[in-house]
Structure 1
Amino acid sequence: MSMFVKQTWYMAGWSADLSQDAPLGRSIAGELLVLFRDSEGRASAIQDRCPHRGVQLSLGKVLPAGLECGYHGMVFAGDGRCVKIPGQDSIPYRANVRRYPVEERDSMIWVWLGAAEDADPALIVDYPWHNQSDQWPHREGYFHFGCGFEMLVDNIMDLSHLGWVHARTIGGNPDQHAEAVMNVERTDRGVRFTRWLLNSTPPPSYSKVVSFAGNIDRWIELELVAPGVIMQYNGGVDVSQDAYNGGSRDGGFNWRILHVLVPETADTCHYFTSVSNGFRQDEPEVTDKLLADVHDTILEDKVICENQQRNLQEQPEPPLMDINSDQARVLFRWHLARLLKAENQETVAA
């Protein structure tokens, strides 16, 4: 029985992370992969284990013919075939390694961990804002967290914590977060929810880059595609624009954040994030500042989530409780449990 969903696309890295000069080792959902580009720049992913003596292939180097093992020089093509064994002409079938389907789009590299014949590129989440540099200039980032990815998704699904954990960055007034107008709905692949903070004080991150007349109406829109892709749209405009009731969202402050949360092990995960700037787009320093502020908030989350992981391992009882703000988080857990149950049932049947 697997503790991870395998019949899905997981982000393995940013396109910029993978050069034609060096391989990239990555552990995803308990599996060791190595990614590299061939001589034409195409990304490939194979098992990060040489079939000869078990050394990680990510310790090797990229050649025109493929990835060379750094131990005894065997070479592997992007489809997993061994194409060279130094000192012998015959190459047995057992010299081949597993290939993982790969898709590269919107500045991201995705790998499929399940059965290769089931890899449907249509299931990859589209994120067109990465391709609209004039309207949405963006910056990319990566973090490694010492907690399960589910805990990190939980954290984003319940944003009532912003007023306490992120008071010095994007938080704002804690009471206004607790009293946010919230709408939560289940989708075919996850959860969609919106939070409005009406007539609220602009948080520090907003007021540093936009001059507001006074209080603002502030929105946070999120969509989760299970198991771990979250698309977020934030903004705030002067109360006089009546944005909540269908008025203008023009001007003010608006940005998009992509969170891609990928399990590594049961207790660790990868956190890929990007920030797309929807205002003052022709000022690169503003986009840089947004990314820096988001990174500050993520580091604040890191302290909380890693503490939570350790504490629950040491004190697993009594069971945790839910409160009103957990609606979206509970739906996420329902979706994740449904995906895992379906896959494990298929495994048992097979």
Structure 2
Amino acid sequence: MSTTETQPLAHDAAGAPQASKFPLNLWYVAALASELKDKPIGRTLLGKPIVLFRTADGQPAALEDRCCHRALPLSHGTVEAHGVRCGYHGLMFDNKGQCIEVPGQAKIPTKAKVPAFHAKERDQIIWIWFGDADNAAPTCEPPEYEVHSNGKYLFEGDVYHYDAPYQLIHDNLLDLSHLGYVHLRTIGGNASIHMNAQMKVESDDSLVRVTRYMPDSEPPPTYIAAFPFKGRVDRWQEIEFCVTHLRIWTGAVDIGTDSLDDPDRGGFHMRGFHGVTPETETTSHYFWTMATNPVSSPQETLQKVVEQTIMTFDEDKVVIEAQYKNMVKIGNGPMVDIHVDVGANRARKIIEKLRNEVIS
């Protein structure tokens, strides 16, 4: 694991500390493990330009995406056995940000280094630590996501870039009542059933859980395409919000066959991982995977589920970006809450609390 730079607290014009733009002292998703191959990846995360690459032994590394010589992004360079090489004059940097080679020059300047960040892979997700000045080193391990590693599911994933703030993505994922209106072709179903689902919301200082049950429902198109249901189904939606990612378990069983609160229930499962990482205050990265439990034709079923998931997320992206564009155009006028907003509102309170804690 590489070392990380110290991130100073923000101050206003009078020198007083301000709340961070984003919650700190957390592991954020930087990439899916499948993205890091033989080339560096440049990505802005929490307003900081980062270059990601793998070392010769396969470990992820993260550096500031700027060569200390003439400022070319290191992501324009190449990955070699000993680190990342700048694509302008060939300076080589190791995973700690230290320059270890200057072509044509034996002596390496002592100041030839770039800031490095802690990066770690766990369950096929690349995490990066963003800490405040008092927590430059990680205070915990990255979150686990056993769905990728326990062998019970097949999964694939990808990355979206959003021209919208990250909390609008949180709002969308915490409120699945919109499925009946936005996703009629895929995972939607009867809009009235979605809006009237049996819903329970639980939360603490760092987590929100939303549970929604929809017994005696018609299975939506995605479910029918992937699983041999006999007719009507009992559906569930379980959403777990953490500040840097969400886990969403949805699915259905044939009506009356399994209890919807049984953790070992059968039927058709879709387990989604949703890593939502701010790029800036107004743009975001959305890292997702979708896992399922095929009962037959595993790869064919997985591809059906992934194709339907992509259609679904494409629809969400259109809505969220149009929503934000309208907010910018018209201004942040008052918004009226309804019953489906409880989870999203609690998540926003958690984020605000964590942002303010950075200055305490």
Same fold (TM over 0.5): yes
Matched, 1:268 2:283: yes
Query: How far is 1:13 from its partner?
Result: 0.9
List aligned pairs for 1:247-258, cutoff 5 A: 249-250=265-266, 252-258=267-273
Instruction: Give the aligned partner of residue 101 of structure 1.
Output: 118
Q: In structure 1, the residue corresponding to 2:177 is in which secondary structure? A: helix
Query: How far is 1:109 from its partner?
Result: 0.8
Paired residues of 1:261 and 1:269 also in contact (CA < 8 A):
yes
Instruction: Give the aligned partner of residue 143 of structure 1.
Output: 160
Instruction: Give the aligned partner of residue 97 of structure 2.
Output: 80
Q: 1:302 aligns with which of 307, 317, 321?
A: 317
Query: How far is 1:319 from its partner?
Result: 1.7
Matched, 1:232 2:248: yes
Matched, 1:120 2:139: yes
Query: How far is 1:158 from its partner?
Result: 1.1
Instruction: Give the aligned partner of residue 216 of structure 2.
Output: 199
Q: Which whole-Å CA distance do the structure 2 matches of 1:101 and 1:244 have between them?
A: 40
TM-score between the two structures when normalised by the length of structure 2: 0.90
Q: In structure 2, the residue corresponding to 1:94 is in which secondary structure? A: coil
Instruction: Give the aligned partner of residue 321 of structure 1.
Output: 336
2:320 is matched by which residue type in structure 1?
Answer: C
Moved more, 274-283 or 101-110: 274-283
Matched, 1:17 2:35: yes
Paired residues of 2:226 and 2:294 also in contact (CA < 8 A):
no
Query: Residues 301 and 40 of structure 1: is their aligned pair in 2 closer, same or farther, counting only changes over 3 Å?
Result: same
Query: Residues 316 and 23 of structure 1: is their aligned pair in 2 closer, same or farther, counting only changes over 3 Å?
Result: same
Deviations 1:265-286 (A, max 9, x none): 1221111111111232662110
Instruction: Give the aligned partner of residue 110 of structure 1.
Output: 127
Paired residues of 2:240 and 2:247 also in contact (CA < 8 A):
yes
User: Any gaps of 5 or more consecutive residues in structure 2?
Assistant: 1-9, 11-19
Query: How far is 1:245 from its partner?
Result: 6.9
Query: How far is 1:194 from its partner?
Result: 0.4
| More helix per residue | 1
Instruction: Give the aligned partner of residue 189 of structure 1.
Output: 206
Q: Which whole-Å CA distance do the structure 2 matches of 1:247 and 1:329 have between them?
A: 24
Q: Percent identity?
A: 36
Paired residues of 2:62 and 2:118 also in contact (CA < 8 A):
yes
Q: Which whole-Å CA distance do the structure 1 matches of 2:253 and 2:287 have between them?
A: 28
Paired residues of 2:233 and 2:254 also in contact (CA < 8 A):
yes
1:6 is matched by which residue type in structure 2?
Answer: L
Query: Residues 317 and 264 of structure 1: is their aligned pair in 2 closer, same or farther, counting only changes over 3 Å?
Result: closer
Paired residues of 1:236 and 1:249 also in contact (CA < 8 A):
no
Query: How far is 1:247 from its partner?
Result: 11
Q: Which whole-Å CA distance do the structure 2 matches of 1:317 and 1:184 have between them?
A: 27
Query: Residues 281 and 75 of structure 1: is their aligned pair in 2 closer, same or farther, counting only changes over 3 Å?
Result: farther
Q: Which whole-Å CA distance do the structure 1 matches of 2:65 and 2:87 have between them?
A: 12
Instruction: Give the aligned partner of residue 14 of structure 2.
Output: none
Moved more, 293-302 or 261-270: 261-270
Q: 1:129 aligns with which of 141, 144, 147?
A: 147
Moved more, 89-98 or 214-223: 89-98
Query: How far is 1:22 from its partner?
Result: 1.5
Q: In structure 2, the residue corresponding to 1:304 is in which secondary structure? A: helix
Paired residues of 1:85 and 1:91 also in contact (CA < 8 A):
yes
Paired residues of 2:233 and 2:255 also in contact (CA < 8 A):
yes
Query: Residues 121 and 200 of structure 1: is their aligned pair in 2 closer, same or farther, counting only changes over 3 Å?
Result: same
Q: 2:259 aligns with which of 243, 261, 272?
A: 243
1:236 is matched by which residue type in structure 2?
Answer: A
Deviations 1:290-330 (A, max 9, x none): 11111110000011000011000011142222111100000
Q: Which whole-Å CA distance do the structure 1 matches of 2:292 and 2:61 have between them?
A: 31
Paired residues of 1:256 and 1:278 also in contact (CA < 8 A):
no
User: Any gaps of 5 or more consecutive residues in structure 1?
Assistant: none
Paired residues of 1:103 and 1:121 also in contact (CA < 8 A):
no
Q: In structure 2, the residue corresponding to 1:243 is in which secondary structure? A: coil
Moved more, 261-270 or 233-242: 233-242
Q: 1:177 aligns with which of 194, 199, 202?
A: 194
Moved more, 272-281 or 289-298: 272-281
Q: 2:106 aligns with which of 74, 89, 109?
A: 89
